[in-house]
Amino acid sequence: MTILERHVHDVRNVAEYWKRERLFKEAEDGIGGFPPKRYYGLIAGHGNTGAMAQEREWENFAAMEAAYEKLFNELGIMNLAESGPAIGNTERTEYYYVETPPTFEPGI
């Protein structure tokens, strides 16, 4: 089952947000097995000005868990993971299964 991993950040320090993202990307690229992220900035809707979302799709939860297990065993990565609030950026994480709509019959 394909999984969408989504992180929504309330970004108060844009420069530090992108610096942190660069450090995560370097660590993830070094380990391998991480799908690419897509980044979105909020234009309108629920959330604060400065909200950023990042998403990536995983083949399944097992692939995601294996990649993160390797990542979080890297020296210093836990400090990086916990650094968001210290630079003024908060985060919530969401996971979705990717839904395929049923086939609709004409006239139904």
- Extract the tokens encoding 43: 């234009």
Closest C-alpha among 60, 61, 43 to residue 52: 43
**Total domains in the fold of the chain:** 1
pLDDT value of position 47? 66
Alpha-carbon Rg of the chain, whole angstroms? Answer: 16
- Residue 108 in domain: no
Closest C-alpha among 23, 37, 20, 8 to residue 87: 20
Closest C-alpha among 8, 19, 17 to residue 51: 8
Q: Which amino acid is at 11?
A: V
pLDDT tens track for 2-50: 999 999 999 888 898 999 999 999 999 999 999 999 999 998 887 667 7
CATH code at position 88? 3.30.70.100
Domain that holds residue 69: 3-97
Q: Is the pLDDT of residue 88 over 90?
A: no
pLDDT tens track for 39-83: 999 988 876 677 899 999 999 999 999 999 999 999 899 998 888
- Residue 106 in domain: no
What lies within 8 Å, CB to CB, of 74 at 6+ separation is 27, 31
